[in-house]
């Protein structure tokens, strides 16, 4: 039996209205979000819910890993969704620091209500 240990837990919240204001700049969106995140978010009012949740995932991973987003870059971590819509953590393993996380298992949970998006990332080693 292989015993896994929780190596880190990260939680973040993001105000949807704040994300809407920030995304008024197309440059901001392209700098912060991966093409997959922008595609999933789509357009319309729900777009900002999805982007706020994606940003919360990035921050939650930074907290769970202890790395901070400044060290890894916003484009190197993100959220993707499986065929059932379940969120999964995306890490760019070409990034030198993130190579250390190839064998780790991550759990992601995302929620939003009342203008707030939240994400939890749990890292198992």
Q: Which residues contact 31 (CB under 8 A, 6 or more apart)?
A: 74, 75
pTM of the model: 0.94
121 near 9, Cβ under 8 Å? yes
Residue 86 in domain: yes
69/48 Cα distance (integer angstroms): 21
95 near 76, Cβ under 8 Å? yes
Residue 1 in domain: no
Q: What is the CATH number of the domain that holds 118?
A: 3.90.470.20
Residues forming a β-bridge with 111: 118
What pLDDT digit, counting tens, does each position of 27-83 carry?
999 999 999 999 999 988 799 999 999 999 999 999 999 998 888 999 999 999 999
What pLDDT digit, counting tens, does each position of 85-122 carry?
999 999 999 999 999 999 999 999 999 999 999 999 99
Residue 46 in domain: yes
SS3 8: strand
Residues forming a β-bridge with 89: 79
Residue 73 in domain: yes
Q: Which residues contact 32 (CB under 8 A, 6 or more apart)?
A: 22, 55, 58, 74
What pLDDT score was predicted for residue 115? 96
Residue 107 in domain: yes
Q: Work out how many domains the chain is built from and give that number.
A: 1
Residue 88 in domain: yes
> Which one, of 114, 76, 116, lies nearest residue 97 by Cα?
76
Residue 116 in domain: yes
Residue 89 in domain: yes
Which residue range is the domain that position 31 belongs to? 6-124
Q: Give ∠ CA 86-121-22 in degrees, rounded to 5.
A: 85
What pLDDT score was predicted for residue 106? 95
């Amino acid at each position: 039996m292989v015993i896994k240990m929780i190596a880190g837990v990260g939680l973040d919240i993001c105000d949807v209205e704040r994300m809407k204001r920030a995304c008024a700049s197309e440059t901001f969106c392209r700098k912060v979000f991966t093409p997959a995140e922008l595609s999933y978010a789509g357009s319309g009012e729900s777009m900002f819910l999805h982007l706020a949740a994606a940003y919360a995932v990035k921050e939650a991973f930074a907290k769970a890993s202890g790395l901070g987003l400044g060290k890894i870059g916003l484009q190197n971590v993100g959220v993707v969704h499986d065929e059932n819509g379940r969120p999964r953590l995306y890490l760019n393993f070409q990034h030198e620091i993130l190579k250390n996380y190839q064998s780790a298992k991550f759990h992601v949970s995302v929620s939003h209500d009342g203008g707030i998006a939240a994400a939890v990332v749990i890292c198992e080693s």
